[in-house]
Amino acid sequence: MITERRPENSMSVADILSSIRTKEYQIDGDFKGKDILSTEQFTRDDILQVMETAARIELSKEGGSYPECENLLKHKRVAVCFYQPSTRTYMSFMAAAQNMGAYVIGVPGMMQYSSAVKGESLQDTVRTIEAHGTDAIVMRHEADDFVIHAAEAADIPIINAGAGKFEHPTQAMLDLYTITQNSPIPLDAMSVTFVGDLKYGRTVHSLAKVLTVMGVPSMNFISPETTCLPTNLASYLEEKGVVVNQQVVHEPGEIGQLITHTDVIYDTRVQKEWFTSDQDYVDACRAIQITPEVMSNAPEHSILLHPLPRVDEITTDVDLDPRAKYFAQVASGVPVRMALLALVMGADTSRLAR
């Protein structure tokens, strides 16, 4: 039996979203001092501003560093505090803050080494981090609703680096950035296919909403029976005019026939940590594996993304396929997170090349 970690959420996703939809949380062209909790805070123009800022930051890159950016957050302090495991998101936020000259503080492995172990509340921890002269807090937590509790406790920006099964907005921004940089198809004519764990995968929830705002007309959702897209998200996308096509797969290889006309395949890990049954987990993994044979059905111009970590839902021989862009996607994390930190901390990026 897989032991399930089921954090106590005091708020439902609907309640979290109704708070976030209030004016207080909306970005509306002004990032300075704002929290980044959900993709629902962003208009199309806000998203374009993040993309444009990230592109200008990336243009200024020289070798492995960003000399024109290195004073953008000088004398600022960024706390990076993760209550769940992470490789990419943690490192790219650390690198992003350091590339702009910020001091970075935090406790690596909050679940093990912070006073959470002693029973301290999230609110008290957030107030403590703020009391150290911190200008922004990047946080990952297993509870969906940590975003609201942290944002309410702090006066400085809270950046959601992954909230339970809810959302992962900064990942969605870098996913979009990778898509626009690598796909020849314009967003308003694009068909995107999500594969894998659409139920627990917070990256899917955030990216589907960002693509909706950006005018992607059609999205396919392929999953095993146990990890279908949440119905409230499917209806939300439909209400916004997206053509939503959901397909359940049972057997290996079945996905092949479902990706023959798609422009972007966004694969995801089956999130073992939320499953209650071992057998359901094993069956889910079996049904959605992407192999070179599956990829032989996808169009030549298509691209394959994955937020990573991958377990074995994409076999390593697929890495050689030029359509596999998941490691380019990882690299996009740094400029995109630099852009987001710079924007919420009010750094002046106007001198970077246009």
Catalytic residues: 88-89, 118, 140, 168
CB nearer to ligand NCD: pick between 76 and 168: 168
- Is residue 170 near ligand NCD by the rule CB under 6 A? no
Q: Give the span between the Cα atoms of 300 and 260, in whole angstroms.
A: 10
Q: Give the span between the Cα atoms of 31 and 29, in whole angstroms.
A: 6
Q: Name which of 200, 131, 148 is nearest 35 in CA terms.
A: 148
Residues in 257-276 at the binding interface with ligand NCD, rule: CB under 6 A: 269, 271
State the number of binding residues for ligand NCD (CB under 6 A): 12
**Shortest distance in whole angstroms from residue 89 CB to ligand NCD:** 4
- Is residue 162 near ligand NCD by the rule CB under 6 A? yes
**Shortest distance in whole angstroms from residue 309 CB to ligand NCD:** 6
Task: Give CA separation, 154 vs 15, 24, 56, 130, in Å.
Answer: 20, 14, 30, 7
**Shortest distance in whole angstroms from residue 285 CB to ligand NCD:** 13
Segment lying near ligand NCD (by CB under 6 A), choices 5-13, 219-227, 258-266, 306-314:
306-314
- Is residue 89 near ligand NCD by the rule CB under 6 A? yes
Task: Give CA separation, 94 vs 102, 226, 244, 312, in Å.
Answer: 9, 35, 36, 28
Residues in 215-254 at the binding interface with ligand NCD, rule: CB under 6 A: none
Phi, psi angles (nearest 5°) of residue 131: -65, -10
Q: Which residue has the tokens 């839902």?
A: 313
Q: What is the largest CA-CA distance in the chain?
A: 56
Q: Name which of 269, 261, 266 is nearest 300 in CA terms.
A: 261
- Is residue 88 near ligand NCD by the rule CB under 6 A? yes
- Is residue 206 near ligand NCD by the rule CB under 6 A? no
Residues interacting with ligand NCD, by CB under 6 A?
88-89, 162, 168, 171, 202-203, 269, 271, 307-309
